[in-house]
């Protein structure tokens, strides 16, 4: 199939492009490079030995999106493009609501206009709000704790309503957890522009001496060691989850958690990184970050049962691959 991957030069998007091409699909990428680099596309080409059509556009711009659908016979969309920093979303809510919701609506409009009926949306565990862990797809969604999470929940509602109004649509909402690690080649990984918002690139920049020490946001949560607990998943497991979802797309709306089903605290991840790579990570405890919750991990039984997908790589592999990427 010809798959349009929005945000395909980004961290998760680029790894998913690799997995899609490996599975025999043709990839067209649209990305405005606000948090990625054009060279990532060249690296994906090198890994896969396949060509990729790349459009440097903003998918909130309908006039820029339309020509892609006119030029290519798009069979499906995987929509990653969006702003994704929880803390920044609290500081800049309007920017997040505009970017993340308008992009979803523009792409949906294009799908209806050009008869594209397969849509996979990059959602997030943040849509569960402060529900009790482990999070299950059937849970009633509570008010999220930050604007970023709310844009994901609202996008889910928009897409679900469109699918209801168009019964021949095949919509899958993937609620994934905390991706870390990198492709085993070391060519692509998590490399955000500016100061990282996610934990693993923050750790690697500290270890490389680019940042002084790791800031851990709070140590008095009701968790195993007081630090926040998350479900860290290897980015290639996550990418392969998208391929499994694409291979199992059927009419209607389908929701899946994509995680490992295991919670790991920030300090446990730091220790795993130190053990995996033989390097100490200096850190300090700072104030809790606005919008964060204490625990977040998945019940992944539905994805295993219906998609035949389960995460294969452990936390040590995540840490080793992340460090290999930083040193490649």
Q: Dihedral, CA atoms, 274, 36, 54, 43, nearest 10 degrees? A: -30
Which residue in 315, 291, 24, 279 sits closest to 178, CA to CA?
Answer: 315
CB 231, CB 259: distance < 8 Å = yes
Q: What backbone phi and psi angles, to 5 degrees, belong to 209?
A: 85, 10
Enumerate the active-site residues. Answer: 148
- Alpha-carbon distance of 293 to 290, in angstroms, equals 9
Residues 6+ apart with CB under 8 A from 211: 195, 202, 205
Residue 205's H or E segment, with its range, is: helix 199-207
- Alpha-carbon distance of 186 to 328, in angstroms, equals 6
Q: Outline where DSSP puts E strands in 44-136.
A: 53-55, 76-79, 118-124
- Alpha-carbon distance of 125 to 24, in angstroms, equals 29
Which residue in 85, 89, 126 sits closest to 295, CA to CA?
Answer: 126
- Alpha-carbon distance of 237 to 231, in angstroms, equals 13
- Alpha-carbon distance of 88 to 202, in angstroms, equals 16
**Angle formed at CA 141 by CA 138 and CA 145, multiple of 5 degrees:** 145
């Amino acid at each position: 199939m010809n798959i349009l991957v929005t945000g395909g030069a980004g961290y998760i998007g680029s790894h998913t492009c690799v997995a899609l091409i490996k599975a025999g699909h043709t990839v067209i990428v649209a990305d405005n490079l606000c948090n990625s680099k054009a060279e990532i596309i060249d690296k994906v080409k090198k890994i896969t030995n396949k060509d990729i059509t790349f459009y440097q556009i903003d998918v909130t711009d309908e006039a820029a999106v339309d020509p892609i659908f006119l030029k290519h016979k798009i069979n499906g969309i995987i929509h990653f493009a969006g702003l994704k920093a929880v803390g920044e979303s609290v500081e800049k809510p309007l920017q997040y609501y505009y970017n993340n919701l308008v992009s979803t609506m523009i792409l949906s409009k294009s799908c209806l206009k050009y008869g594209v009926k397969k849509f996979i949306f990059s959602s997030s565990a943040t849509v569960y709000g402060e529900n009790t862990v482990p999070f299950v797809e059937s849970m009633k969604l509570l008010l999220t704790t930050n604007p970023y999470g709310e844009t994901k929940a609202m996008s889910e509602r928009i897409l679900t309503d469109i699918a209801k109004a168009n019964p021949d649509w095949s919509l899958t909402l993937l609620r994934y957890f905390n991706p870390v690690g990198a492709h085993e080649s070391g060519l692509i990984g998590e490399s955000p522009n500016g100061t990282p918002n996610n934990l693993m690139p923050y750790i690697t920049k500290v270890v490389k001496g680019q940042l002084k020490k790791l800031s851990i946001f709070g140590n008095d949560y009701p968790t195993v060691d007081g630090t926040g607990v998350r479900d860290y998943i290897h980015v290639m497991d996550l990418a392969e989850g998208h391929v499994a979802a694409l291979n199992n797309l059927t009419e209607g709306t389908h929701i899946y958690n994509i995680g490992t089903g295991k919670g790991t605290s920030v300090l446990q991840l730091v220790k795993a990184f130190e053990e995996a790579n033989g390097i100490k990570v200096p850190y300090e405890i700072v104030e809790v970050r606005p919008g964060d919750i204490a625990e977040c991990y998945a019940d992944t039984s539905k994805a295993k049962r219906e998609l035949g997908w389960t995460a294969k790589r452990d936390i040590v592999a995540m840490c080793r691959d992340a460090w290999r990427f930083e040193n490649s």
